[in-house]
């Protein structure tokens, strides 16, 4: 992708890297990635050696989403970068089915890869998660303090990579770098967030390993030919755009934080209980997430750039309403679970059947999500504002479709008196024209074939047909000739001037008034953009948790016990992908795997071709990844010591 291509609003990743020498043989690799699907920026760095640099670069690619599915990728590096580093950056993914094409590497000026350039770029950018209102509402000093609390501005390698990334984004002809209509200074990037993530708390796994094991798909094949080819496809029950993005991020960055993972597992267990005990509410919750919660961050980005279309306003109205509904459903589910847990086998109202103590798992997840949503004043204010101003809810599907096609934002009557007056005036235009033509006919009996037309910049004119000689049959003396066009001559008269005064360019005036109202609405919405971004992220995580719980319930997964010991014990475990591809009547034969502790830390596995060696290896790796994103796993019992690094030389995709 050459500079100048559109990099926003599509499934693309831009990865910028920088190398900083620390001591003899040691370097720090900095990386900054822009995900165009949600306009987020991720920043990290890792210490490595020259000999380990190829693997470190592959690790960074994986953590930043390069090689995931069929995403378009651009890698940015300094013009002063070493030739061997550029070759490594361009090297294609070494896995069957990856396509084999080298990545597109763009070299930017070395001066862009500096801490100062990164800080200036961040201060000039509009970061929705940090903003409260219009960009000028915070001073640069305030924004600098906020950024310092968000990322480590002292990480030289990460900041240099970030400088190169922001330079590339700014130089690209994309919506995120256009001058916003209300900006008063230099053009600003519109980003949803800038976040730092630590590889120290991430299971290190390069792209080839992720694809070879079947964690992600290199080509986005998903469930081709009836076979589920990756964990990403298996778990792809998240309905919202934010949920799908978070799921992919978790898969690319499995955590080594036991406390975080146990919180996720608690949430999955709570969601499973909710599915068993109140299927109706959970179904309504999934439907709201799948159908009515849109990509709020992208909608806010369009509003911030004055690019919101009628469909965008309708989706934001629908999303805010659905988010409040999600909050109420979460609170209701939490209360039902609590009542069931307190009452033992008593059946609370609304439940489909009696519950046992094991079924009545309750926790803080649903209650926390629900209360966070319902207590968010900004969300309620934005919904009430949109619901008051727009009449999407009263329009039929065909009316809404026509409004979107004609780029008309349906503002309710009574919202603005001036707008209502202009609408009435526009409705009366045919009456004014007919009345004026009648006046002309009674005043000038010899006048025939006269018509009234509005010409922009000129106003209302009388149009008369010309005869064969190009002259009208008769023209009143007081008519002022303006211009000729296509066998017609146009004139101005007292009556047309009166129309200019009475009616004028009512269509343009109406459009300008609507735009003024929208600009005001945009300002009020953007006052709450930070809160809306936070809620969108929380609801996306809810979506992922529900997807994990649904897969666990449908596939018979159990909760793993996570430890910090160097031990893995899996009783009757199964391959999560292979068992989904079995024909009716076939059964996957489970395996027991015990490694570490009092048992040997290594298993030497031998056997003929086709005996299942690769299946077992992948099975173990996939179960570890599932556990370390916070998912239940396919086994009868599972104790998993946290793994900090996965290696693989498996390249075949058929196991």
Q: Express each pLDDT in 607-633 by its tens digit.
A: 888 888 888 999 999 999 999 999 999
Q: Express each pLDDT in 462-485 by its tens digit.
A: 998 876 565 656 889 899 999 988
Residue 228: both structure tokens together: 């589920």
pLDDT interval class at 250 (50, 70, 90):
very high
Pair 244, 99: CB distance under 8 Å: no
* Residue 576 confidence (pLDDT) above 90: yes
Residue 614, C-beta contacts closer than 8 angstroms, at least 6 positions apart: 650, 652, 655
Residue 369: closest CA among 288, 488, 461, 435? 288
Average pLDDT over residues 10-37: 85
* pLDDT value at residue 348: 42
Residue 349, C-beta contacts closer than 8 angstroms, at least 6 positions apart: none
* Residue 1 confidence (pLDDT) above 50: no
Q: Phi/psi class of residue 214: alpha, beta or left (left: φ > 0; alpha: ψ in -120 to 50)?
A: left
Average pLDDT over residues 195-217: 85
* pLDDT value at residue 614: 86
pLDDT interval class at 352 (50, 70, 90):
very low
First-to-final CA distance of the chain: 34
* pLDDT value at residue 134: 47
CA dist 104 and 592 (Å) reads 44
Pair 305, 357: CB distance under 8 Å: no
- Give the percent of the chain with pLDDT over 70: 85
Q: Pick the range with the lowest mean pLDDT from 147-151, 242-246, 478-482.
A: 147-151
CA distances from 171 to 121, 176, 320, 394, 621 (A): 12, 11, 34, 44, 41
* Residue 69 confidence (pLDDT) above 70: no
- For the entire predicted model, the pTM comes to 0.81
Q: State the average pLDDT for the chain.
A: 84
Domains of the chain in start order, with CATH, are 12-201 (3.30.420.110), 207-409+523-554 (1.10.1420.10), 417-519 (1.10.1420.10), 556-641 (3.40.50.300)
Beta pairing class for 591-596 and 104-108: unpaired
* pLDDT value at residue 471: 64
Pair 262, 632: CB distance under 8 Å: no
DSSP 8-state assignment for residue 288: I
Q: Pick the range with the lowest mean pLDDT from 124-128, 370-374, 524-528, 537-541.
A: 124-128
CA dist 250 and 201 (Å) reads 12
Highest mean pLDDT among 70-84, 207-221, 470-484: 70-84
* Residue 273 confidence (pLDDT) above 50: yes
Average pLDDT over residues 557-566: 96
CA dist 264 and 260 (Å) reads 6
Beta pairing class for 190-191 and 72-78: unpaired
Average pLDDT over residues 150-158: 88
CA distances from 174 to 2, 190, 296, 421 (A): 12, 10, 19, 39
* Residue 97 confidence (pLDDT) above 60: no
């Amino acid at each position: 992708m050459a500079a100048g291509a559109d990099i926003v609003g599509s499934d693309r990743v831009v990865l910028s890297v920088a190398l900083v020498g620390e001591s003899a043989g040691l370097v720090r690799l900095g990386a900054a990635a822009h995900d165009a699907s949600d306009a987020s920026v991720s920043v990290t760095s890792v210490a490595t050696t020259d000999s380990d640099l190829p693997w470190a670069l592959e690790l960074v690619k994986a953590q930043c989403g390069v090689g995931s599915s069929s995403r378009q990728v651009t890698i940015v590096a300094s013009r002063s970068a070493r030739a061997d580093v550029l070759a490594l950056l361009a090297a294609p993914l070494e896995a069957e089915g990856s396509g084999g094409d080298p990545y597109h590497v763009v070299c930017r000026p070395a001066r862009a890869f500096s801490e100062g350039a990164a800080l200036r770029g961040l201060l000039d950018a509009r970061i929705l998660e940090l903003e409260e209102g219009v960009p000028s509402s915070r001073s640069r000093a305030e924004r600098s303090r906020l950024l310092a609390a968000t990322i480590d501005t002292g990480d030289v390698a990460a900041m240099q990579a970030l400088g190169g990334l922001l330079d590339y984004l700014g130089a690209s002809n994309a919506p995120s770098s256009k001058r916003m209509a209300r900006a008063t200074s230099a053009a600003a990037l519109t980003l949803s967030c800038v976040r730092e993530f630590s590889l120290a708390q991430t299971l290190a796994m390069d792209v080839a390993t992720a694809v070879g094991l079947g964690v992600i798909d290199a080509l986005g094949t998903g469930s081709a030919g009836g076979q589920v080819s990756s964990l990403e496809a298996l778990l792809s029950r998240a309905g919202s755009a934010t949920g799908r993005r978070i799921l992919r991020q978790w898969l690319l960055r499995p955590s080594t934080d036991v406390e975080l993972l146990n919180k996720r597992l608690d949430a999955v267990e709570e969601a499973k209980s909710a599915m068993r005990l109140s299927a109706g509410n959970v179904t309504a919750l999934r439907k709201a997430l799948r159908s009515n919660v849109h990509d709020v961050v992208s909608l806010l980005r369009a509003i911030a750039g004055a690019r919101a279309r009628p469909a965008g306003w309708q989706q934001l109205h629908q999303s805010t309403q659905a988010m409040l509904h999600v909050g109420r459903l979460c609170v209701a589910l939490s209360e039902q679970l609590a009542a069931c847990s307190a009452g033992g086998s008593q059946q609370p109202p609304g439940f489909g059947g009696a519950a046992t103590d094991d079924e009545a798992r309750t926790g803080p997840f649903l209650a926390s999500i629900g209360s966070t949503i319902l207590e968010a004043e900004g969300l309620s204010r934005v919904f009430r504002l949109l619901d008051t101003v727009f009449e999407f809810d009263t329009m039929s599907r065909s009316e809404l479709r026509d409004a979107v096609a004609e780029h008309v934002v349906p503002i309710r009557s009574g919202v603005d008196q001036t707008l209502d007056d202009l609408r009435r005036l526009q409705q009366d235009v045919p009456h004014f024209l007919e009345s004026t033509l009648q006046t002309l006919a009674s005043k000038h009996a010899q006048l025939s074939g006269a018509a009234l037309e509005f010409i922009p910049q000129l106003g209302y004119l009388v149009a008369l047909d010309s005869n064969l000689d190009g002259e009208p049959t008769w023209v009143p003396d007081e008519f002022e000739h303006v211009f000729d066009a296509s066998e017609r001559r146009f004139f101005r008269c007292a009556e047309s001037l009166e129309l200019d005064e009475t009616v004028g360019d009512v269509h343009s005036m109406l459009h300008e008034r609507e735009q003024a109202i929208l600009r005001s609405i945009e300002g009020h919405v953007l006052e709450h953009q930070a809160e809306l971004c936070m809620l969108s992220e929380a609801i996306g995580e809810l979506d992922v948790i529900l997807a994990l719980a649904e897969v666990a319930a449908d596939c018979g997964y159990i909760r793993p016990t996570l430890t910090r010991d160097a031990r893995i014990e899996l009783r009757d475990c199964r391959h999560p992908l292979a068992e989904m591809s079995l024909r009716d009547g076939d059964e996957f034969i489970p395996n027991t795997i015990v490694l570490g502790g009092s048992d040997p830390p290594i298993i030497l596995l031998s056997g003929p071709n086709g005996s299942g060696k690769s299946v077992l290896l992948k099975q173990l790796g996939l179960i570890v990844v599932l556990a370390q994103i916070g998912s239940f796993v396919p086994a009868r019992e599972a104790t998993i010591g946290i793994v900090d690094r996965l290696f693989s030389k498996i390249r075949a995709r058929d196991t």
